[in-house]
Structure 1
Amino acid sequence: MMKLDGIAAFVAAVDEGSISAASRRLGLAKSVVSERLAELERLLGVTLLQRSTRRLTLTSAGQSLLPRAQRILREVEEAAHELDASSGKLAGPLRISAPVGFGILHLGPAIARFLTDHPDIELSLELDDSFVDAATGGFDAVLRHGPVRDSRLIARRLANSRRLLVAAPAYLAAHGTPCSLAELERHRGVLYANRLNDWRFAAEDGWVVVRPKPALRVNNGIFMRDAALAGLGLALLPTFFVHEEVRSGALVEVDVGSTAEGAELFLAYPRDHGAAARIRAFSESLRRSFGDPPYWDAA
């Protein structure tokens, strides 16, 4: 039977690139690490690492074992943290992915509050506007603006978000203000690049998709807001991007007689995740920070 200390020695040696470095990382003598690696190879009946005076090289057997060994160590670590959580203490790593624009505008204070409440959690945040697979992307949880339809995931609702059709006063003065969906299609739009049917408005028999003339396509909400502020065209954006600009008058809400499709913010994570207690605490902290209704819609 494989021993955990042999697996730990194997992963450390691969990560560090040498047995000497692995021994320093594990706080063990170099001879002990070498002995544990040798014992693991004897138990498995294969060679995992080709050793030379300069470096270690994974064999094909080692390449096959490595991801499983990493997962075993990660699950053991998660189990230890879950035991801490059951005693009222939350600790350990938490890897989160979130959209760039929302993260820049709203996650800083919220995360600061969370880490103040849970100082033993080691949070890593990566901002990315591309689609991140919460089940296989290497993150504990992914913040999503929009529906989560993946059955592999649990989705915890953080907040609702309205979407407003907005434009700069200068654009409306130059091009007129659309008063209907038909008029809207004749205007220029700043469009979100990752969704072709992004402009959806409520109608009596369902949803109507409007396709304005594209002035710009971009995959970042802050950039879209700034393009609208510059007068490039109308933009349909969540209130968390434009609530301050609408309040100040820098952007004007345009009423076309129909309500734009709203969206919700979710924190999605794989079922049976080892860090579930930390993820739940993180989601509850975000909900308290955002408020109900969220502060960007409170006015």
Structure 2
Amino acid sequence: MKRIGVLTSGGDAPGMNAAVRAVVRKAIYHDLEVYGVYQGYQGLISGNIHKMEVGSVGDIIHRGGTILRSARCPEFQTPEGQEKGLKQLKAHGIEGLVVIGGDGSYRGAKALTELGYPCVGVPGTIDNDIPGTEFTIGFDTALNTIIDAIDKIRDTASSHERTFIIEVMGRDAGDLALWAGLAGGAETILIPEDPLDMESIKDRLLKGLERGKKHSIIIVAEGVMSGNEFAEKVKQMTGIDTRVSVLGHMQRGGSPTAADRMLASRLGAKAVELLLKGKGGRAVGIERNELVDYDIIEALAIPHKLDLNISRLAKELSI
């Protein structure tokens, strides 16, 4: 293999640039040519593909977002779109592709794999919901962004003796909400994987008031319901007046933490190593601080599982 490509797709995540940098420089170190595919699968279909040099990824390891940019591409979900993308790869002489992104990005890589083209997936998403890896690139940074917000909001909650509801990202996975809730000392955490029990939430809030508790922090994953919707439910059931903070897309931005830069660098380099060995149809991850790789088709058939032991611990510690 003499020429590979790299693209980022789906929602951006802090550390994607560090992963791109690792792919480009690891490849060049081993005498490979590297081509960046700009604007994700949309750019692949349209041929927005350009050669990258060592300097192309200079001074980006600390930057959030992705220099390759990203775009949603419904067309690539069709066989016709996938064939267009494959033709562009062949036209540019690209013999293998590193795909950095989340579930949707992996499904695109899976489609190319099924067409016989060698791809390697690198998990980049703040949701931490990719099977086969304990952590995804961007999760740690987003988590720390949320913790910083919780700490600031808690100061106001304490000063004004109020209950604050903080809505965080996570449509289908509650990792961000759960980890942030435990690390931030939240009294209540709502996640998609744990059935909503309004009666227990009501009892918890009212018992807290009875013993003199002056303020509370509630973390709600967006996949459960909106923060404002939950605030209405709390008002109806308890009479407690709450304030809502929706953190939104700030969770995706910012300079990646050292942990994310390390993870991205290691996983990006691992992806290139697999292609150098002629191994496509793989995805890389980390388990017990060891790099692993696995079949990308098989991995996508495994549902994401959140550790509900963390949820139980959070409830025990928030009494």
Task: Give the TM-score, by structure 2 length.
Answer: 0.30
Larger Rg belongs to: 1
* Bigger proportion of residues as strand: 1
